[in-house]
Structures are given as C-alpha cells and as structure tokens.
C-alpha cells in the first residue's frame, strides 16, 4: 500500500467516519470494500456465518450500537450471498458442534417460510430464495433494534438495506427492504 500511496496509513489513522455499517457473511469470497467499490475507512464491518443478526448476540449488538450511537452511520447494509455455506448447511441435517445453535436461527427462518420454500421445486432456486429471505429477516431484526429504530424515528437515519451478492456474476442485488 505504501508503494502506491506513501500517505495511505497516515491518512487512515486520522479517524473513521463511515456512512455505512455492513453486516455480512464471514465467507472469504465476499469482501465488502471490494464489491462496494470503496476504500478502507469508508465502511464499518461486522461479519459472521450467514450474516445473522440476533438480539442474543452481544457482538452484533455492540457493533450496531457503536455504529449508530458513536459513528452515526447513515446506512446499515445486511448483505448475504448466493453459494453461502451457512445457509446451505441450515437446509441440511444437523452438523454438530458450535455451528448448530448458530444455524438454528436460519432454520427458524426456514420454518417460518416453509410453505414458500416447499413451493420451489428446483433445489438451487430454493437455496437462492432462502439466502434472500434470510437477508430480509436479518434486515427486519436490525430495524427492530431499539437504538436503530429510535435513531431512525428521530433523524431518519440509519436506513436499512438488504443486498445479495452473486459471487458467480459479481452482481449486487438490492432487495429493496422496506421495514
């Protein structure tokens, strides 16, 4: 980095003032800054398996609280992606270990949307639709967090967005989330 911009780290160290909080999957193929076309320092990032946001997760709650109360982000993006291993694993039998309780949050999403998902006969299309439904559900979870809801009601921000990244094509799909 210093070879192409000798002041890169000096500028990065000054402060962070991102307008975005990005909540995405831990998958190494989905780096937020690259597909959003932005530089380090322009997005505050929280990642976990299958971009789950749950009120019982103190890490996610702390990140969201800090982003809204301290950084005063204008946008919160929940981004899933097609070919997500966490979502795929939630559609299969239990795998054991620490992953199962985490995947139960997505299995709950499956249960609540079982009729729609059962109506999709093509397995890949069903899997893609579950990725989308999971993003929509996590957006709703974010929008219902008191600090997010209260900030939005008083200032109009942060706005919550649901995106799906298609790894195969590089397409970023806006699900047009409306709380």
Compute the average pLDDT of residues 52-79. 97
Catalytic residue (choose from 46, 79, 84, 161): 84
Catalytic residue (choose from 46, 79, 81, 161): 81
168 catalytically annotated: no
Query: Which of the residue ranges 4-18, 38-52, 146-160 would you say has the lowest mean pLDDT?
Result: 4-18
139 catalytically annotated: no
For residue 1, the model assigns a pLDDT of 72
pTM, to two decimals: 0.93
Q: What is the mean pLDDT of the chain?
A: 93
Q: Which of 47, 99, 107, 55 is nearest to 78 (CA)?
A: 47
CATH superfamily for 8-83+135-174 is Carbonic anhydrase (3.40.1050.10)
Band of the pLDDT at 9, cuts 50, 70, 90? confident
Catalytic residue (choose from 5, 29, 94, 100): 29
Is residue 42 within 8 A of residue 18, CB to CB? The reply is yes
Q: How many CB atoms lie within 10 A of CB 5?
A: 11
Q: Percent of the chain at pLDDT above 90? A: 76
Q: Which of 120, 109, 119, 56 is nearest to 86 (CA)?
A: 109
Residue 78 to residue 53: CA distance in whole angstroms: 9
Residue ranges per domain, the chain? Answer: 8-83+135-174
- Tokens 């890490």, residue located: 59
For residue 128, the model assigns a pLDDT of 97
Query: Which of the residue ranges 13-22, 67-76, 113-122, 135-144 would you say has the lowest mean pLDDT?
Result: 13-22
Identify the H or E element spanning 66: helix 58-69
166 - beta bridge partners?
Answer: 171
């Amino acid at each position: 980095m210093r070879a192409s911009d000798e002041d890169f780290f000096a500028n990065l160290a000054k402060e962070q003032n991102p307008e975005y909080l990005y909540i995405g999957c831990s998958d190494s193929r989905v780096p937020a800054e690259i597909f959003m076309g932005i530089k380090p320092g322009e997005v505050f990032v929280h990642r976990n398996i299958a971009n789950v946001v749950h009120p019982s997760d103190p890490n996610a709650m702390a990140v969201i609280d800090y982003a809204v109360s301290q950084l005063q982000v204008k946008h919160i993006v929940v981004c899933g992606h097609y070919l997500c291993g966490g979502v795929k694993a939630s559609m299969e039998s239990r795998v054991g270990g620490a992953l199962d309780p985490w995947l139960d949050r997505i299995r709950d999403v499956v249960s609540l949307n079982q009729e729609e998902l059962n109506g999709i006969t093509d397995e890949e299309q069903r899997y893609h639709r579950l990725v989308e439904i999971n993003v929509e559900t996590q957006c709703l979870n974010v929008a219902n967090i008191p600090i997010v809801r209260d900030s939005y009601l008083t200032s109009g921000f942060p706005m919550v967005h649901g995106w799906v990244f298609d790894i195969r094509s590089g397409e970023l799909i806006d699900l047009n989330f409306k709380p």
